[in-house]
Amino acid sequence: MANKKFSQFTEKTQESEVSKLVGLSTDGTENIQIDPTKIADFTTFSDETSAAAVGSLVGLNAAGTQRIKITPNNLIDFSGYSTETNQSNVSFLTGLNAAGTDKIKINPSVIGKSVFTGGVWNGYTYQLVTSPATGKVWLDRNIGATQVATSVSDSNSFGFLFQFGRSADNHQFRNSSTTTTQEVSHTNTSSNFVLNYNTWSANLSSYIWQSDWEGKVMNDVCPPGFRLPTLSEISAEIGGFSSGNMSGAFSSFLKIPANERRDNNTGNITNYGYAYLWLDNQSWFYFSASGAYNGSGPINAGYGVRCIKI
């Protein structure tokens, strides 16, 4: 199996879906495999027999710019690493999928947590809906919506308007303050909606809201086990709608409302009667009365987020 770049890995959040974690022997001479179901005490490994025999796990720093070594003895509380000092500085570990056929990324902040199955997440309630056309599982509403849409213009179902790649730092509220000053970085942000640029920060990691979204490396705004959809995924769903426009989007199982967009130059809410949603790879999709369309950039425009199960 050819090695993939970290940006091409997929991520699993349940221990049962991960067969092995990849580590280095203490002397650093060879890779070993670690049973993730024993991650709490590291008493059993596939190729090693004790935590002392494992020198480090391999991860990336939060900026996504370099690999780091993580001491397995400190993995439980993530309080110590050889080159990083806390859990928030580690974006993911390297592992194999349960079948052992492909490499995956493992988010250390969520490993062992169950995939979201509906309920309250980050203060908002979401349920799951299954596509009658594709069998894919989606959230029943946009991130930040307080209810499923009861009409195309139901403002309680609109949800947040995110700038692409930003965390839920409060910029996503439709009435958040605006600024023409770019944010310091993807991890050092204010609650302001950034105007007048094609990006909201000049110091962005290439790993924010990864190209296929399955990375979920940083600034993730979807629940565990969910991500942004791809163009092909939303297009497949539209094939099952009664019509490929705003009316069909709302009458579908997704109940997509006309949530509008936030302009990247003025900060005003615009495009009334349209539904705008972010897709993966810094692209977006919108529904109007005449049809459904896609495009890309600028990433400091404000669009909605509807998550699909990984």
pLDDT digits (tens, 9 = 90+) for 93-116: 555 555 655 555 565 545 545 678
DSSP of the chain, one letter per residue? -----GGG-EE--SGGGEEEEEEEETTSSSEEEE-GGGTTT----SS-SSGGGEEEEEEEETTSSSEEEE-GGGTTTT---SS--SGGGEEEEEEEETTSSSEEEE-TTTTTSPPP-SEEETTEEE-EEE-TTT--EEESS-TT-SS--SSTT-GGG----EETT--SSSTTSTT--EESSPBS-SSS--SPEE-SSSSSBSS--TTTT-TTSTT--SS--SPTTEEPPPHHHHHHHHTTSSSSSHHHHHHSTT-----BEE-TTT--EE-TT-EEEE-STTEEEEE-SS-EEEEE--TTSEEB---EE-
Residues 88 and 232 in one domain: no
* 76 shares its domain with 163: no
Contact 204, 252 (CB under 8 A): no
The 10s digit of each residue's pLDDT in 117-142 is: 999 999 999 999 999 999 999 999 99
177 pLDDT higher than 60: yes
Q: Are 152 and 295 within one domain? A: yes
Q: How far apart are CA 83 and CA 68, in angstroms?
A: 6
What is the structure's pLDDT at 74? 40
* Top-confidence residue, 254 or 75: 254
Number of domains in the chain: 2
Q: Which of 59, 82, 106 is the last residue of a domain?
A: 106
- Assess contact for 22 and 57: CB atoms under 8 A: yes
Average of pLDDT values for 288-294? 96
Q: Is the pLDDT of residue 4 over 50?
A: no
Are both 11 and 139 inside the same structural domain?
Answer: no
Other Cβ atoms less than 10 A from the Cβ of 241: the count is 20
pLDDT for the residue 46? 34
Whether 225 is covered by a domain: the verdict is yes
99, 46: one domain: yes
**Which of 53, 81, 106 is where one domain is finished?**
106
Residue 238, strand partner residues: none
Tell me: do 155 and 65 sit in the same domain.
no
**What is the rounded CA–CA span in Å between residue 71 and residue 50?**
13
Question: Tell me: the pLDDT tens digits for 30-56?
Answer: 455 555 544 433 333 333 334 444 555
DSSP lists the bridge partners of residue 192 as none
**Residue 95: its pLDDT value, please?**
59
Segments forming the whole domain that contains residue 93? 6-106
Of the chain, the percentage scoring pLDDT greater than 70 comes to: 58
In a domain, 196, yes or no: yes
Residue 235 lies in a domain: yes
310 alpha-carbon distance from chain centroid: 10
Q: Are 81 and 90 in contact (CB under 8 A)?
A: yes
Percent of the chain with pLDDT over 90: 45
Looking at the structure, tell me whether residues 254 and 119 fall in a common domain.
yes
151 and 12 share one domain: no
Residue 195 placed within a domain: yes
Statement: residue 70 has pLDDT above 90:
no
Task: Answer yes or no: are the C-beta atoms of 22 and 31 closer than 8 Å.
Answer: yes
Question: Is residue 28, in this structure, part of any structural domain at all?
Answer: yes
Classify residue 1: in a domain, yes or no: no
- Residue 102 sits in the same domain as residue 147: no
Q: Give me the half-sphere count of Cα atoms (radius 13 Å) on the Cβ side of residue 178.
A: 17
Is residue 156 included in any domain, yes or no? yes
pLDDT of 147 reads 98
Mean pLDDT over the full length of the chain = 74
Model pLDDT, residue 48: 35
Whether residues 89 and 232 fall in one domain: no
143 and 23: one domain? no
Same domain, 27 and 75: yes
